[in-house]
A and B are shown apart, each in its own frame.
Chain A
C-alpha cells in the first residue's frame, strides 16, 4: 500500500485532530466509563480525612513543597560546580556594583527619549 503524503500544514492539522480525537476516546473509555460503571468508593463512609494528605496518621493542613525551579537550578549547579561557582561569583560582583544600576538608568533614559522623540 502506498504512503499518504500531506503538506506540512495539513500534517500538523491532521496530527492535532487525531490527537484530540484519540484523547477524547481515551478519556471516555478509560475514565468516564470506568468511573461511572466500575468505580468503587475507597471507603463505604465518607470522612473528612479522605480529602487531606495524611502523614503518620495526622492530616496535613498546609502542604509545603519546594519550588521546582530551585530543584532544577540546584541539580544543574551541582552537576557543574566549577561553572556555577564562577558564574554566581561574577554575577554577584557585577550586580553589587553601583555602575550597573547607573547603566540601567541610562538605558531607560535613552529608551524613553527614543520612544517619546525627545530630540530637537
Chain B
C-alpha cells in the first residue's frame, strides 16, 4: 500500500507533474537568459524576479485563448495524443535519480526507448492536424530527421546499459546503470573509449531530436514561417511547447544519467543529494546545448540528414559493437 501511495505522490508532486511544471519554467528562463547573453540581449526581465516568471506568463497567455481550429483540422485526437505524450514524459521522471524511490525493472530501457519516441510523434501529429503546406513540409522534414536521429540516440543510450550489464551484472535497467555509469569510464581502456564514442553520438542524436541548431530545419523560423508550429495557436501551441520543453528536460536527464555518471560522486541511496548532483549536471548540459544552439547556422535538410547518417550512425553503431566486445 505504501509503495503505491509513494508512486502516486511521486507522479503527481515530486518529480512528477508539479515539479516538471516548475522545472519547465526554470529551465526555459535559464535557456532564454543564456541565449540572450550570447546574443548580447538581456533575455526576459519583466515578469517576476529577474524575469523568471516570463515562461509561465507566456504559457498562461496561450492557455487562456480560445481554441480555434479551422474547418479542415482535426479537433480532439491531436489533443489526446499531445496530453498522452506529456504524461509519458512526466512518468519517465520517476525512473531517474531525481525520484525519491526510483522505479526500475529488468530491460526497462526498451520501454523507455519506446516512450521517448511518443513525444516527437505527438509533435508531428499536432503539426499535421491542421493542414497547411508549410507545416506539412516541416512534418516531412521532422520525420526524416527522426528516422535518422532516434536510432542514434537510442543505440547510444543502450551502450552504457549493455556495458553495465556485462561488467556489473545490472539487468539492462536505466536507473541501475546510472548508479554505476561513472565506473564504466574507468573500468578498462576499451570501456572508456566505448563510452566516449557513445557520449559523442548520443549528444549528436539528442541535439537532432530536440531540433537544436544546426538541426532545426523542421522548425525553420522565417524559412517555413514557423515550421511545425505554423498553424498552431492558443492551447494547442501551449501543448506543443509543453512537449518540446519537457523533452528538453527528459532527454538531457537520461544523457546525464547514463554518460555523465548520474548521481556520482554522491551515494545514490541519498536521494536528495543525488537529485541535486543530477540537476547541477543537467543544467551544465543545458548550458552547452544553449551555447551550441546560439552559435551554429542551420543545416539544409539533406545536409543535416547526411551528417547524421555519416557521423552519428557510424559512431553510435561502432560504440554498440564495442560495448559487446569491451
Contacts and interface: CB of A to CB of B under 8 A. Distances in A.
Q: Do A and B bind each other?
A: yes
A15 B91 contact: yes
Contacts of B68: 42, 50-51
B70 A68 contact: no
Interface stretch (B27-35, B152-160, B185-193, B301-309): B301-309
B294 interface: no
Contact of A1 (B87, B90, B101, B140): B101
Contacts of A99: none
Contact of A25 (B17, B67, B79, B176): B17
B74 interface: no
A81 B67 CA distance: 43
Given A24-B83, A39-B64, A72-B140, A65 B131 contact: yes
Contact of B128 (A4, A20, A53, A68): A68
Interface stretch (B49-57, B106-114, B253-261, B281-289): B106-114
Interface string B252-292: 00000000000000000101000000000000000000000
Which interface class (under 10, 10 to 19, 20 to 34, 35 or more) fits B? 35 or more
Nearest to A52: B70
B235 A35 contact: yes
Given A23-B84, A41-B66, A53 B72 contact: yes
Contacts of B182: none
Nearest to B59: A30
Which interface class (under 10, 10 to 19, 20 to 34, 35 or more) fits A? 35 or more
A68 B147 CA distance: 13
Interface of A: 1-8, 10-12, 14-15, 18-27, 30-31, 34-35, 38-42, 50-53, 63-66, 68-72, 74-76, 78-80
A30 B68 CA distance: 16
Given A26-B17, A75-B140, A15 B305 contact: no
A26 B105 CA distance: 26
Contacts of A51: 68-71
Nearest to A81: B302
B88 interface: yes
Main secondary structure of the interface of B (DSSP, over half): helix
A42 B80 CA distance: 23
Residue of B64, B106, B140, B305 with highest tally of chain A CB at under 10 A: B140
B66 A40 contact: yes
A70 B305 CA distance: 16
B100 interface: yes
Given A4-B104, A5-B105, A15-B115, A68 B143 contact: yes
B144 to A, nearest CB: 4
Residue of A27, A40, A69 with highest tally of chain B CB at under 10 A: A27
Nearest to A29: B17
B87 A75 contact: no
B133 interface: yes
